[in-house]
Each structure stands twice: as C-alpha cells, then as structure tokens.
Structure 1
Amino acid sequence: MDLGIKGRVAMVAAASKGLGKAAAAALVKEGCRVSICGRDRAALEAAKADLGGSVLAVPCDVTNPADLEDWFKATLAAFGQVDILVTNTGGPPAATFLELTEAQWESGVQSTLLNTVRMSRLVLPGMRERRWGRIVHITSLVAKLPAPLLTISSTLRAGLSALTKTMATEFGPDNVLVNALLPGHVLTDRQLHLAEVRSRKDGTTVEEYFEKSNAAIPLRRLGRPEEIGEVIAFLCSERASYLTGSSIQVDGGIIPATF
C-alpha cells in the first residue's frame, strides 16, 4: 500500500533506539525525510547510519525547551518545513504512590507531558498554514490500563489521551490530524528495565516475569518495535485521512474491552 507521504518531512523524538527508532525507520521506508533527536550523540549517529535514507540527526534533550527549539530550527534549515511530528519520551520512574517524591512527580510532568506540549507548539503554526499535518503521540497501554508500579506514567499517559482529543478537535478544521498510539508490552530497553524492577519486587527472575507476562497477552508474546513503527507510519499517512482524536491500542489484545 502506498501511504502517500513520500517527500514529507517528519520529526521523530527520542529516536536513537526503541519505539522512536522504529517509527523513524517506518517513515524512512515510506520515503519521508526524517529528523531524529536523542541525548546520546554516538547512539544517534549509529541510528542515522542504520536508518539510511534522508535523515538528519540532532542531539537534543527533549526535557530542555531550548534543545527542542534548536532541533526544530535545524530541521527547518535542512528540510524547509515539518509535516509530521512523532512525540516520544522515556518513561518516568517506576514506583508506587507513597514511594514517589514531589521532585519525581515534577520531573515526570516535564519529561512526559510538557515536552509533548512544547514539540506540538513548535510545529503546529506551519501545519495549519499549509493545511496538512500529522501528529502522533507515543504513550502507553497504562493510559487505559493503569499500573500501580507506574503511577506517574499511568497518570500522565491518560492525560496525553485527553490532550490528543482536545488537539484533534481544535486543529481538525486545519486538516491537522492528531492521534495517540498506546503500545503494549514491546521488547525495548524500557521493557527490560521494568522487567528487572518488577521481578525484584516479586522475588522472581526476569525470565519468569516474561513467561508470566506473555501468558497474560492474548497473542502470547511481546510486540516487536517494528510492529509499532508501521502503525505509526499509517497514522501519519494519507490513508489515515479520516482518523483523528483516537488513542490506538497496539497491545496484542491485553487491554480489556472498555465498551
């Protein structure tokens, strides 16, 4: 299927590895010119080499407003405009409610919510002027299936789903489509870290944790990053032209029905 986005310019945050890199790879495959960012310069350059295609790599800490603006300006200088934005962040600290400090809550808001707001504010004026844009917020299944160990993430990811809907309503008349993607358990560094934390708390091994986790997923396996990336590419495409304001579950069926 031709997704109709060859030549479009995409910014993909935190794309040196994991889901961000998978999203960038899927967009490169569709012929997009892709600007990626990440904190680790070496990892970012390695990702650029892996991705091939027309890729700009800009070191950037997405929690730093000045870094985000520099990344945006570098993208405009290289490619002239931004048609697609994929927001993506690292997960906040994994801990139960009473274990969390106020500083950790404040850090979570900065790293998970406000950077998404800032990235969107940078690209939206140009998208509205050209009357074409796609924004996809990568969030998490905890937006619909809160987890006690992921207190901050569960709270903020649910908020991002609400933000997605309000943005879609506001910018729909400008043909700017905004959706959220809720990955389930996908084999990334973040998933390995959470497995280590949870297995320690439960007194089990990481292998036992994954065996139990897989048994709870209807497809009986973890997702692959590229499976998430391909859905993101579709949401950014011309083929998704009547899809906005949705929080799309890509979770192997683990989130219960919410009829």
Structure 2
Amino acid sequence: MDLQISGKKALVLGASRGLGAAIAAGLAAEGVKVFAAARSADKIQATDNIVPVAVDLSDAASVAALIEKLNAEGGVDIVVNNSGGPKAGPALGQSSESWVAAFQSMATSIFSITDAMLAGMIARKWGRVITIGSSGVVQPIANLALSNGVRAAVAGWSKTLASEVARHGITVNMILPGRIATDRVRELDGIKAEKTGASLEAVQEASRNEIPVGRYGKPEEFAAVAVFLASSQASYVTGSSIRVDGGMIRGL
C-alpha cells in the first residue's frame, strides 16, 4: 500500500529510543523527512531522512528554540507528540512542584509545539497530529499518578483540537500503548520488582499472563499504527484514541 506521505516532513519527539525511535524509523522508511527530537539527540543516527534535533521538553526556552528551527524549515506536516513518562509514585502526597513539572514536560510543551506547527498545516490543508498516550488514560495504572493525571488532560486536549481543525484536512489522534517492550517499560517492571520483592522475570511473566496475546508488544508493531495514522489513507480517522495493547484493557 502506498501511504502517500513520501516527501512530507515530520517531527517526532522522544525519538532517541523506544516508541519514538521506532516511529521515526517507520516514517523515514516511507520517504518522510523526520526531525527526530530528543534531549539525547547525539544518540540518534542521522540518515538521508532522519535529522537529529535537540530539545528538552521540560525547558520552555529549549521548546521555543525547537519551534524556531522548525519554522525556519517551513514547518512540518506531521507532528508525533511522544513525551517521556514522569517518575512513578502515588497520587497521595505528590507535591505541587511535581505536578507542575510533569505538566510542563508532558503537556504544555507539546501543546505549544503542536500549536506552532498547525498554522502551516492549515495553510496547506493537510496535517497529522499524533499523540502517544498510555493505557492509563482508560484504566489508571497503580503507582503512576502523575502520568495518569497529565495524560488524561492531554487526551481532553487532543479530542478538543480534533474538532477544531478537521475542516482544514488535519487529523488529530492518540495512540495508547499497553506493555510494549521498551526501556521505559523495563524500568517500570524493575521498580515493581524492587517494591514487591519479586524477581524481574516474575513481574514480566505476571504481566504477560494479563495480556490476551501472551506477550509484550514490539516497538515496530506500535510504530506501524502511528505510520498508518500519518498516511493519506487515514484521512477519515480523527478524534480517536487507538489502543495498541494486545487486548490488555478489558473495558469497552
């Protein structure tokens, strides 16, 4: 299938590893010029279609510098908002500083970047905004209060924005990953193992038993959904939150 996005330009945040890296590679394989952004941009290998860009989503000045650079390049057609998750912890006792910091890096920054790129998309009558969320939006994950709270706010923003820009040929969607085999998930499994006294292998086996397909997902499987949402064929899909979780979430 020709996804009809060769020659488009994309920004992928959090592109140095995990889901972001897989999405950047998937878009590049379709002929998209990808600005692959991350704090550790030096870890991203430049190719003909991948341009590493440094950004710290927790730093407003760094976000502003990224926006300026992208505007100088004529903007992008596809924005993939992929912010790292905050530290684990309960809702009870979280400081206001922790909430503000999490909202800045996971919400305010991507709102600002997306808003800045939308002017060009509107002018071109074509655009894609894809935001990576979490299954915690549907079913809150224990001990991830900051992520559950902030990503729920991002889901509300995404749904609202979808209605506002649809008439301009712009789609806005979220993808909700389940247990995908990334460094972040391994870190969370390690934290759970340490907290419960179980082995890492036991924690992972328990998680696999809760997933109908019986395994963790592969980053490239998740990326394939993002690449499709970025395509011209997905032009009638907007305002959606699509789960890529192997059937883990039991709710309708």
Counterpart for residue 182 of structure 1: 176
- Equivalent position SS for 2:131: strand
Identical residues among aligned pairs (%)? 38
Supply the distance in 1 between the matched residues of 2:22 and 2:61 (Cα, whole angstroms).
26
Counterpart for residue 215 of structure 2: 221
Question: 1:17-39, CA deviations, whole angstroms, 9 ceiling, x for partnerless residues?
Answer: 11111110010011001101111
Counterpart for residue 54 of structure 1: 49
Question: 1:196-232, CA deviations, whole angstroms, 9 ceiling, x for partnerless residues?
Answer: 1111121101111000000100011001111111110
CA contact 2:3–2:228 (8 Å) conserved in 1: yes
Counterpart for residue 70 of structure 1: 65
Question: 1:34-93, CA deviations, whole angstroms, 9 ceiling, x for partnerless residues?
Answer: 1011112431xxx224xx332211111022222223223323444x33100000111011
What letter corresponds to residue 26 of structure 1 in structure 2? G
Supply the distance in 1 between the matched residues of 2:194 and 2:95 (Cα, whole angstroms).
21
Counterpart for residue 88 of structure 2: 94
What letter corresponds to residue 227 of structure 2 in structure 1? A
Give the aligned CA root-mean-square deviation in angstroms: 1.3
Task: Identify unmatched segments of 5+ residues in structure 2.
Answer: none
Counterpart for residue 130 of structure 1: 124
What letter corresponds to residue 15 of structure 2 in structure 1? A
CA contact 1:65–1:115 (8 Å) conserved in 2: yes
Supply the distance in 2 between the matched residues of 1:54 and 1:148 (Cα, whole angstroms).
39
Determine which of 82, 103, 106 is the counterpart of 1:109: 103
What's the TM-score once normalised by structure 1's chain length? Answer: 0.93
Q: What's the offset of the Cα at 1:99?
A: 4.3
Question: 1:135-167, CA deviations, whole angstroms, 9 ceiling, x for partnerless residues?
Answer: 000111111010121111111212222111100
Counterpart for residue 254 of structure 1: 248
Tell me: CA distance 1:64–1:183, structure 2 relative to 1, closer, same or farther (3 Å).
same
CA contact 2:12–2:79 (8 Å) conserved in 1: yes
Counterpart for residue 7 of structure 2: 7
CA contact 2:208–2:214 (8 Å) conserved in 1: yes
What's the TM-score once normalised by structure 2's chain length? Answer: 0.96
Question: 1:214-254, CA deviations, whole angstroms, 9 ceiling, x for partnerless residues?
Answer: 01000110011111111101001101010000001000000
CA contact 1:56–1:75 (8 Å) conserved in 2: no
Task: Identify unmatched segments of 5+ residues in structure 1.
Answer: none
